[in-house]
């Protein structure tokens, strides 16, 4: 029995393609692994606050030196970190915004990349502490990025996600991108069909 963390981040509800694809993955996964425990977080319903100067000071304070105000400031971040660390596998759905990630998912990352919790410094080197889990990002994009596209090479989303989680020690990271979703019916169908067939394949191999 594995523990799965599923997070949706699109500000859109039922119209969101990334949510729909992640839902399909989860449904297919549950059919194969009915005993797995799924924890769901919706960044649309429970927004993640941006970090502040006081939050940063608290996050770099040793646990034994935290004042009660500092501990209170870190409470939500601690809950997000606990939830992330407890998961064996994570499925995160993330739309592309301005060639990168939406600010709510960036705020989530800023709250979980925590010294002493998800990474530490040792002999001048950073060591990730969130080892051993598998991570799947399902992304949705309006345009396409393959050869011939004016946006080839513009994808700052995958690196932004990959490096933040690699920094925390996650090495098994996969991406399923649904591209071209805002380029008309034909391109949208192609982008969704391709993503759905990758989902069906990965559900069996993950
Ligand atoms: C504010 C905003 C910025 C966007 N920026 C990009 C972009 O840089 N590149 C891209 O391919 N699509 C971009 N899109 C299109 C979305 O990625 C696309 O519509 C996707 O399906 C949104 O995910 P969702 O359906 O899960 O909400 C943007 C959409 C919005 C609303």
Query: What stretches of the chain show up as alpha helix (H) in DSSP?
Result: 17-32, 53-59, 68-86, 103-112, 157-167, 185-205
Q: Residue 139's pLDDT band (boundaries 50, 70, 90)? A: very high
Percent of the chain with pLDDT over 90: 100
Ligand 1: lining residues by beta carbon, under 6 Å: 10, 12, 16-19, 95-99, 140-143, 181-182
Determine the pLDDT at residue 76.
98
Q: Residue 147's pLDDT band (boundaries 50, 70, 90)? A: confident
CA atoms within 13 A on the CB side of 116: 10
* Residue nearest to ligand 1 atom 19, measured at CA: 142
**Can you count the helices (H) and strands (E) in the chain?**
6, 7
Asked if the model's pLDDT at residue 204 lies above 90, the reply is yes
Instruction: Please write the tens of the pLDDT for every residue from 29-63.
Output: 999 999 999 999 999 999 999 999 999 999 999 99
Q: Which domains does the chain have, with CATH numbers?
A: 3-205 (3.40.50.360)
Q: Which residue has the tokens 């994808």?
A: 155
Cα distance between residue 30 and residue 45, in whole Å = 23
Average pLDDT over residues 131-147: 97
Q: How far is the CA of 129 from the centre of ligand 1 (A)?
A: 32
Q: Residue 154's pLDDT band (boundaries 50, 70, 90)? A: very high
* Residue nearest to ligand 1 atom 9, measured at CA: 99
* Residue nearest to ligand 1 atom 12, measured at CA: 142
- Give the position, in ligand 1's atom list, of the atom nearest the Cα of 15: 25
Instruction: Please write the tens of the pLDDT for every residue from 58-87.
Output: 999 999 999 999 999 999 999 999 999 999
Determine the pLDDT at residue 149.
95
- Give the position, in ligand 1's atom list, of the atom nearest the Cα of 179: 11
């Amino acid at each position: 029995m594995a523990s799965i963390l599923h997070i949706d981040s699109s500000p859109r509800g039922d119209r969101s393609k990334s949510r729909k694809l992640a839902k399909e993955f989860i449904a297919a996964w549950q059919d194969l692994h009915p005993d797995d425990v799924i924890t769901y977080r919706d960044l649309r319903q429970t927004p993640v606050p941006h970090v502040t100067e006081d939050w940063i000071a608290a996050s770099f304070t040793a646990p034994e030196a935290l004042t009660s105000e500092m501990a209170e400031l870190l409470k939500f971040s601690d809950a997000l970190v606990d939830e992330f660390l407890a998961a064996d596998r994570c499925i995160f759905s993330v739309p592309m915004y301005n060639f990168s990630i939406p600010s709510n998912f960036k705020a989530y990352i800023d709250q979980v990349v925590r010294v002493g919790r998800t990474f530490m410094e040792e002999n001048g080197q950073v060591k990730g502490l969130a080892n051993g889990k598998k991570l799947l990002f399902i992304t949705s994009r309006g345009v396409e990025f393959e050869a011939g596209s004016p946006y080839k090479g513009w994808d700052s989303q995958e690196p932004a996600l990959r490096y933040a989680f690699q920094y925390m020690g996650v090495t098994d990271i996969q991406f399923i991108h649904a591209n071209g979703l805002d380029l008309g019916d034909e391109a949208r169908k192609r982008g969704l069909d391709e993503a759905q067939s990758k989902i069906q394949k990965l559900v069996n191999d993950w």
